[in-house]
Structure 1
Amino acid sequence: DWVPAHFPKDEFSLGRFDGTALFEHADPRQGDHPEWGTYIFNYGRAEVRNFLTASALYWLGEFHADGLRVDAVASMIYLDYARREGEWIPNAFGGRENLDAISFIKKLNQDVYRLNPGIMMIAEESTAWTGVSRPVFMGGLGFGFKWDMGWMHDTLEYFTLDPIYRRYHHRDLTFGLLYAWSENFVLPLSHDEVVHGKRAMLAKMPGDRWRQFANQRALFAYMWARSGKKLIFMGQEIGQWREWDHDSSLDWNLLDYPDHRELQVLVRDLNRIYRDEPALWEADTEPAGFRWLDADDADSNMIAFMRVAPSTSRRIVCVCNFSPVLRHRFRIGVPGPGFYREILNTDSAAYGGSNVGNMGGVQAAAIPWRGFSHSIAIEMPPLAVIWFSVP
């Protein structure tokens, strides 16, 4: 987590380093950050730009970090970020864009990718700025990825609800697919969501202990199948109950309990299948890699979609039941005939579920359903996600 957007006003830090505004702007309308009580770097000074670039290259080159998540990019690129009228200075063209910061970001990304091939530069950018993860030569900011903050907010809003109310928030599951391919997105369940009284991920889930774990398993399997790269925060894979605390270790002792071990096994299996199935990642950033099978069944808290690997036509069907109701012979439209093999079921007893499934898979029937020529009738366990490998 690399933070070139602002820095503390501590006396021992960079603030007023030589008694003057050396690293920051002297004018508080440009140099003070009203939201965080910090200083803002003067991106127009070559010395400051070199200092920040050297910092990034140090972590990547000397410590061999795989990448940097660049914090609060929106606060860098907008001069009026968190400011009221009269509290900011327009750029030379009268606009609100911070031209010096934008120039710095573009040059930074070009330099770090050139000198460290294979690393990741990930923007935490919360606005609709166009081209955050597009190359500089195409007019973009040059990041490799952008956090999908909207997906994170909408998904957690949905999953923290009691299932009886989820039908009224179905749009939280589907809206993100309207813009999913406008950037190279990362789907984050990050540190921001498990500190400062927001509760650990498992503790956010509604219901009794069994339902909390079932919801968490379903969320992970849905997340792994959806378009976008995946990021969870440490401790989520073992179901940590308490908020993350930088002064103590993770609660590894939780693995003494079966349901925590079983959640860890699920995450391991999700990663294994994800690695082995190109349909889940090959076309993450293009519409050809995703197809809705059923996006509208709000009353049942159900969605179904298919992931596709264009190079091989390999396909994975993902069916999600976010209600606590067991659904017998639930029908889903599918693109063709054949045996749909069940390759993952979050309700498996191996993961702590109730072990409702489809005995290895189902045969598609020539029964048209919701615009598809064939369909499958499946046993759909409560609060669960099933993946099928498509012939």
Structure 2
Amino acid sequence: MRSSEWLGTWSWDDGDWMRARPGRHGGEMPLAFYRLRALDWYLSRFALPMNWNRLAEELVPYVADLGFTHIVLDGALIGQPHSVVCQFIETCHIAGVGVVIVYSPLSSMTQPEFLAWCDRCHIDGYEEVIDHSGEGRGAECRLFLSKTTEPVLVLDPRVRWRLASADYLALSPAERCRQHAAWIAALTPRELSRGLLEQVPDDTTALGQWRLQVHGDDWQRFAAFRTCLALMWALPGDKQVAMGVELGQVLAEPWEAALHWPLLFESRHAGVLRLVADLNRLYVNEPALQVRGEDRLGFEWLVDDDSDNCVIVFARHAESGHASLVCVCNFQACVHYRYRLGVPSAGWWRETLNSDSVFYGGSNVGNGRGAMTEPIPSHGHAQSLAVTVPPMAALFLRHEIWFEDGS
């Protein structure tokens, strides 16, 4: 169907969103994308014919509650009646959620028609997928967001980091130690530059089956998954996850594409959902996590050579007046007690997130409220912390004021 056959008029009620959109898409606000296949998400909730109004009633509050700023939809919305499209977009915008549409050259619209349709329907951006190899694994995805009416390229997926992490976690603990340096190389300054979109090691073409390849038992697989989620949010770059990731879901067959909501009755799956929501809240509220990768002062390696313990530590710095954050990731299934790490500032470092928390399905090993620095030089800094690093987990430590009694 040609766009001219079904484009009509609509009385919009999303003025607040549209006025704020240039700032949101201009690098001033953190971005977190939730990818979904509209029909599959809908069928996981309703065994009824597709209804976009009903989808919006369920999907939009769900995405907003998890803290995502945008949804990335497959092309199912293309070709729908104009009123249906506009009602769906408006519902998203009123709730503070942007909409990005995946565009395929095989679409019923040419690209100029598609861009005109996006503009007319207040769609916030589009994604092109170009698979040069024909195998999917190395596909190039380019995501454009509109600042005003012209789409601007702002994001590319961090494919190298994603695939390297999946390969790294599939190794045995001994092999992981030997390959630790090679994995760290996937986190080079170039990879941390602006214009890259973080994505947890979840190949949507493989339906998230990478987690089945993680070495160890089911507990270790879930722990590794939570650690990768936390690491993704701690690194510079905007965030993206595909539907099902927030449930820790692994789909065995291509036709089992819908979300399996009963998983949330299991503590580990419910814990992943809580973790994603908490990570998004931290991302929005912590200026240090929002500093772009091209600002080298915003990212500092503290420990990048501990291959024996498979531990990495880095700091995220914000502008003056805002607290720094330190992220500690342990990729071994053992606890490291009194792990010494140098930090850039003296004082109290509060444990703001621990992926091993019982609330996320972990073993609840950690540092309580946090740790106080000691005047012991380490990793190039005059002050250091001695922390308990949980097994196969990530810690976020936030610098706060000095407490005389360490409380």
TM-score normalised to the size of structure 1? 0.67
State the partner residue of 1:176: 187
Contact kept, 8 Å, 2:272 with 2:361, in 1: the verdict is yes
Counterpart check, 1:328 vs 2:337 = yes
User: What is the rounded CA distance, in whole Å, between the counterparts of 1:248 and 1:304 in structure 2?
Assistant: 36
Q: Which has the larger radius of gyration?
A: 1
Q: Which amino acid aligns with 2:170?
A: T
Q: CA deviation at 1:199?
A: 4.9
Q: Which amino acid aligns with 1:335?
A: P
> Could you report, residue by residue, the CA deviation over 1:71-102 in whole angstroms, capped at 9, with x for unpaired residues?
118x5xxxxx89xxxxxxxxxxxxxxxxxxxx
Q: CA deviation at 1:293?
A: 0.7
Q: CA deviation at 1:211?
A: 0.8
Which of 119, 122, 129 is matched with 1:61 structurally? 119
Q: CA deviation at 1:56?
A: 2.9
Q: CA deviation at 1:343?
A: 0.4
Long gaps (5+) in structure 1: 2-38, 42-49, 76-80, 83-104, 122-141
User: What is the rounded CA distance, in whole Å, between the counterparts of 1:219 and 1:189 in structure 2?
Assistant: 6
- 1:182-201 counterparts in 2 under 5 A? 182-189=193-200, 193-196=203-206, 199-201=208-210
Q: CA deviation at 1:143?
A: 1.4
Counterpart check, 1:208 vs 2:217 = yes
State the partner residue of 1:259: 268
Which of 260, 282, 297 is matched with 2:291 structurally? 282
Which of 136, 149, 154 is matched with 1:115 structurally? 149
- 1:288-299 counterparts in 2 under 5 A? 288-299=297-308
Q: CA deviation at 1:218?
A: 0.6
User: What is the rounded CA distance, in whole Å, between the counterparts of 1:364 and 1:334 in structure 2?
Assistant: 8
Counterpart check, 1:221 vs 2:230 = yes
Residues paired across the two proteins, number: 289
Aligned residue for 1:264, secondary structure, equals: helix
Contact kept, 8 Å, 2:329 with 2:395, in 1: the verdict is yes
Contact kept, 8 Å, 1:201 with 1:236, in 2: the verdict is no
User: What is the rounded CA distance, in whole Å, between the counterparts of 2:292 and 2:170 in structure 1?
Assistant: 30
Q: Which amino acid aligns with 2:242?
A: F
- 1:1-391 counterparts in 2 under 5 A? 51-58=110-117, 60-72=118-130, 75=132, 113-115=147-149, 143-170=153-180, 171-189=182-200, 193-196=203-206, 199-243=208-252, 245=254, 248-391=257-400
Q: CA deviation at 1:302?
A: 0.3
User: What is the rounded CA distance, in whole Å, between the counterparts of 2:116 and 2:184 in structure 1?
Assistant: 38
User: What is the rounded CA distance, in whole Å, between the counterparts of 2:292 and 2:389 in structure 1?
Assistant: 27
User: What is the rounded CA distance, in whole Å, between the counterparts of 2:122 and 2:200 in structure 1?
Assistant: 24
Aligned residue for 2:239, secondary structure, equals: strand
> Could you report, residue by residue, the CA deviation over 1:123-151 in whole angstroms, capped at 9, with x for unpaired residues?
xxxxxxxxxxxxxxxxxxx5112222211
Q: Which amino acid aligns with 1:267?
A: V
User: What is the rounded CA distance, in whole Å, between the counterparts of 2:253 and 2:288 in structure 1?
Assistant: 33
User: What is the rounded CA distance, in whole Å, between the counterparts of 1:306 and 1:175 in structure 2?
Assistant: 17
User: What is the rounded CA distance, in whole Å, between the counterparts of 2:161 and 2:116 in structure 1?
Assistant: 30
Contact kept, 8 Å, 1:218 with 1:383, in 2: the verdict is yes
Contact kept, 8 Å, 1:181 with 1:286, in 2: the verdict is no
Contact kept, 8 Å, 1:180 with 1:285, in 2: the verdict is no
RMSD over aligned Cα atoms: 2.9
Percent pairwise identity: 32
Contact kept, 8 Å, 1:225 with 1:318, in 2: the verdict is yes
Contact kept, 8 Å, 2:236 with 2:291, in 1: the verdict is no
User: What is the rounded CA distance, in whole Å, between the counterparts of 1:157 and 1:244 in structure 2?
Assistant: 21
Q: CA deviation at 1:166?
A: 1.2
Aligned residue for 1:195, secondary structure, equals: helix
Q: CA deviation at 1:183?
A: 4.2
TM-score normalised to the size of structure 2? 0.65
Q: Which amino acid aligns with 1:329?
A: R
Q: Does 1 or 2 have the higher relative contact order (CA < 8 Å, sep 6+)?
A: 2
Aligned residue for 1:333, secondary structure, equals: strand
Q: CA deviation at 1:243?
A: 4.7
Q: CA deviation at 1:387?
A: 0.4
User: What is the rounded CA distance, in whole Å, between the counterparts of 1:222 and 1:319 in structure 2?
Assistant: 9
Long gaps (5+) in structure 2: 1-34, 36-103, 135-141, 401-407
Contact kept, 8 Å, 2:355 with 2:362, in 1: the verdict is yes
In structure 2, the CA distance between the partners of 1:367 and 1:206, relative to structure 1 (3 Å rule), is same
Q: CA deviation at 1:113?
A: 4.8
